[in-house]
A and B are shown apart, each in its own frame.
Chain A
Amino acid sequence: MSQLADLQLQLADLEQSIGMLLDTPPYAMAPGQRNDSLLALFKRELEYASECSPQFSNYVRHWPVSFAAADKIADLPYLPVSVFKANPPLSLVPASEIKRTLTSSSTSGQVPSRVVLDAATSRRLTKGVIAIIRDFVGAARRPYLVIDTQENLGRQSELGARGAAIQALGLFATEIVSCLHPDSQGEPGLDLEKLLACAAKWKEAEVLVYGFTYVIWTQLVQPLKRKGLALGMPNVHVLHSGGWKRLEQQAVTKDVFVRDVASVFSCSADRVIDYYGMVENVGVVYPDCARGYKHVPAFADVIVRDPLTLAPVQAGQQGLVQVCSVLPTSFPGFLLLTDDMGEIIGYDGCGCGRRGTHFRFLRRVPKVEVRGCGNLETTRQRRGSGA
């Protein structure tokens, strides 16, 4: 059998196994059952990726423990998330099969991460997001209000994190309305007339709202508060993501944010849901449950590692978060060590009723402080040379 045919068979086999996990209710599996099925599937994915990519194979071959012999997910070779800043992006498929490239929302001066999606991976990622969000807001389709500009709604071959998040939730929509528009300088501003028209039209209907946390605060909440307006939409679910750094700089706490968002929509605070997602782990999002924790769905896992030993820590201890997902096959994003610190709360039994691992993110790891007579980082960056 040719190598190509062999790879296609492996992929079909993987597709079937991933599909079964995607069809399982995301938060219903017992931890032991989930670990067994994930470990076997991750091993097959690593084998498949190694055959697709000599570079990835080189990495896996040098891992201190043979993945074939590993008896737990934590022993499998993981990549640091920063490898997706490479250009060209890491890929397991030929360029002709890439349908879309997702880019992260990097802050100024930083190189964004990029992941490539083929059709099959793209489909799975969408199914993953739907399965998770459905569990939090229900399955019904409903009007979808996007706190962003129209340009992030369209299909593009290279899509930023904002656009990707907006479009993933579009599958819940009966109609989509964006309520920001560019002003004369091209800066986004609130289209108040349009927003008030939507509020009047949808009133007490179930409505899905999504926006980046910072955008919701600056472009929606603050302008409405200044005008003393409330939208009278008690049955919205407001999903937001994108981190708190810029709001923290303005001394806006999570409690204040939730209170004020709920106030402008006239909804209860539990309808404002923060979720964590990253482009490199696309297809898996982590909304806060009613207890304030993030839950791992059936097709994913989260490990928290001691920064010194890189061994998994016990529940209650803090460490670097590793995210794991069986969904991608077009890029090696199965097992990724993030630059975020987190804490496992428990491996089952959250008070919200969802089963499995629940955890919380704590903070982004700060960049290494530039210090010391041996630190040439800034010199070299300015020269633009790797020497």
Chain B
Amino acid sequence: MSELIQRIASADEITFAAQRLRKTALEKDLTPRAVLDVFEQWAAALDGRGVREIPGVAFLRLWLRRGTLEPILLRELGPESLQSGWRDDGRARLRAFPLGVVGHWPAGNIEIQPILSLTCALLGGNSCVVRVPSGLIESTRRVMETLQEADRSGELTSRIFLASFDHSRADLQEAMAKSVDGAMIWGGEDAVSRVRALPFPHWARVLVFGPRLSVAAMDAGVWGERSERAAWCRRVARDVWQFEQQACSSPQTLFLEHGAGCDAAEFVEDLKAAFQEENRAHPRLEIEPALTSAICQARAAWLLDDVANRACFPQSTDWTILQGKGTDIPEPTQGRTLSVLVAADLLQAISQFDGTVQTLGLAVKDARREEILAEAAGRHGVDRVVRLGQMHVFGSPWDGTDLVRPLVREVRHARSQD
């Protein structure tokens, strides 16, 4: 990786790079243990100035730790997976081999997504071709510089090719698709549909992580409890602030279950304080004017639509709380705009989910009740049910899919002589 991110002009550059990477992946073993060793050092290197400030890098450091990834590998690939090598399977034996080259098409809104995506493929022993979105080139370059420091022998970096080209270059997109044995595709509907339609080889395994939204919910036992409310509001604020609320795991709506004597206006006051505090800690430094328009429109439309609706927002675009009632998820605005809806019954709200909800962040007092809500969420298309405040914690499975297992081939050897 002399140039960390290659500016690509011709299809041949991608094709040749992929051929080289495939050779490396299939000829030289890369055990999960070896990957984890480098990842540990990489995690430590991510604490430097200029890198740790990148949104999501704090999480990336946790993600790369052995304590995070080992349990994922053990669950997805089995107890002997760390050593690689063959394992017995009755009278035969099994071994996981990499697919070869995995192409990554990350979304343009999450700074660390190119990195998270490629780590999954490396854990399976694969090589990676990554199309880095134009807006993420600088952050990706800075993070990858730290991998270069950590991976002195080049065991991992020799398996990575980072490419930059305009998304409208159909020839380059096609060349990349034709060159890979697997793909991880992330993003909004249009982007995902375009990439999915590319001419992948018939054997390629394509994992798609398409557009979703996420929702938070609290029962009255939690949000009505004044002594705990401020802490829960801080957790909500943290989930809203991450990734500018553009991630599929970002909460767009918070349902508060109605409770006798619980005052939603009081809750919104605490939430406002939490938003103000989070904004002081993590102020927005720039904004697309189109998002400004969308935020102003959301505020006005909410208040004009129903005189019973309430809202709370500063003169700036910093944050917005839209307060009302109901069980329908309002149109998401993003840009730190949270709809807070009092619902008569959380179960009813969750039972209306239609498969677009990826993550349900919960704060529920009673464990049995939480199990019932989680069960309902699972039945209505939700793929992750987590504690409020941890909605963005990336893990496996994601969108209901394992992250490493689909990127390896389980080869079975039944001996010819027994």
Contact = CB atoms under 8 A, between A and B. Distances in A.
Interface in A350-387: 365-380, 386-387
A320 interface: yes
A82 B314 contact: no
B158 to A, nearest CB: 29
B116 to A, nearest CB: 12
A86 interface: yes
Interface in B281-306: 284-294, 296-297, 299-301, 303-305
B325 interface: no
A376 B247 CA distance: 11
A86 B304 contact: yes
Contact of A379 (B286, B300, B356): B356
Interface in B306-364: 307, 309-317, 328-332, 334, 354, 356
Which 9 A-B pairs rank lowest in CB-CB distance, beginning with the nearest? Answer: A372-B109, A373-B248, A80-B296, A375-B188, A307-B292, A307-B289, A59-B303, A368-B290, A372-B246
Contacts of B290: 339, 365-369
Contacts of B228: none
B110 interface: yes
Contacts of B286: 308
B303 A372 contact: no
B126 interface: no
Interface string B71-109: 000000000000000000000000000000000000111
Interface stretch (B16-24, B26-34, B204-212, B409-417): B204-212
Of B107, B191, B296, B356, which is in contact with the most chain A CB atoms at under 10 Å from its CB?
A: B296
A311 interface: yes
B149 to A, nearest CB: 30
Given A58-B303, A309-B315, A376-B213, 6 more contacts: A86-B304, A307-B317, A365-B290, A371-B107, A372-B110, A376-B332
B246 A374 contact: yes
Of A365, A369, A372, which is in contact with the most chain B CB atoms at under 10 Å from its CB?
A: A372
Contact of A83 (B248, B291, B297, B315): B297
Of B213, B328, B330, which is in contact with the most chain A CB atoms at under 10 Å from its CB?
A: B213
Nearest to A339: B293
A371 B109 CA distance: 7
B213 A368 contact: no
A302 interface: no
B310 A62 contact: yes
Interface residues of A, number: 42
Interface string A43-66: 000000000001111110010110
A68 interface: no
8 contacts: A55-B305, A83-B301, A307-B287, A307-B289, A339-B293, A373-B186, A374-B246, A387-B331
Contacts of A207: none
B292 A374 contact: no
Contacts of B211: 372-376, 379
B317 A371 contact: no
Interface string A68-92: 0000000000011011001000100
Interface in A208-229: none
Interface in A310-362: 310-311, 320, 337, 339, 341
Contacts of A375: 109, 188-189, 211, 246, 334
- Secondary structure at the A interface, as helix, strand, loop or mixed, is loop
Contacts of B297: 80, 82-83
B190 interface: yes
Contacts of B332: 374, 376
A386 B315 contact: no
B304 A308 contact: no
Contact of B304 (A83, A310, A374): A83
Contacts of A311: 315-316
Contacts of A370: 188-191
Interface of A: 54-59, 62, 64-65, 79-80, 82-83, 86, 90, 307-311, 320, 337, 339, 341, 365-380, 386-387
B294 to A, nearest CB: 6
Contact of A387 (B107, B296, B356): B356
A373 B110 contact: yes
A365 B329 CA distance: 27
A386 B317 contact: no
Contact of A54 (B186, B210, B213, B307): B307
Contacts of A368: 288, 290-291, 294
B113 to A, nearest CB: 8
A373 B303 contact: no
Contacts of B299: 62
B301 A341 contact: no
Of B250, B289, B310, B354, which is in contact with the most chain A CB atoms at under 10 Å from its CB?
A: B289
Nearest to B354: A387
Given A86-B301, A365-B290, A374-B213, A65 B331 contact: no
A80 B301 CA distance: 9
Contacts of A371: 107-109, 133, 187-188, 191
Contacts of A372: 107-110, 187-188, 211, 246-247
Nearest to A319: B289
B332 to A, nearest CB: 6
Given A59-B303, A372-B107, A373-B247, A80 B287 contact: no
Interface string B160-189: 000000000000000000000000001111
A337 B300 CA distance: 11
Contacts of A64: 313-315
A365 B297 CA distance: 14
A79 B299 CA distance: 9
Contacts of B187: 371-373
B328 A387 contact: yes
Contact of B209 (A54, A55, A310, A373): A373
A342 to B, nearest CB: 11
A60 to B, nearest CB: 9
A374 B248 contact: yes
B331 A337 contact: no
A185 B296 CA distance: 43
B140 interface: no
Contacts of A79: 300
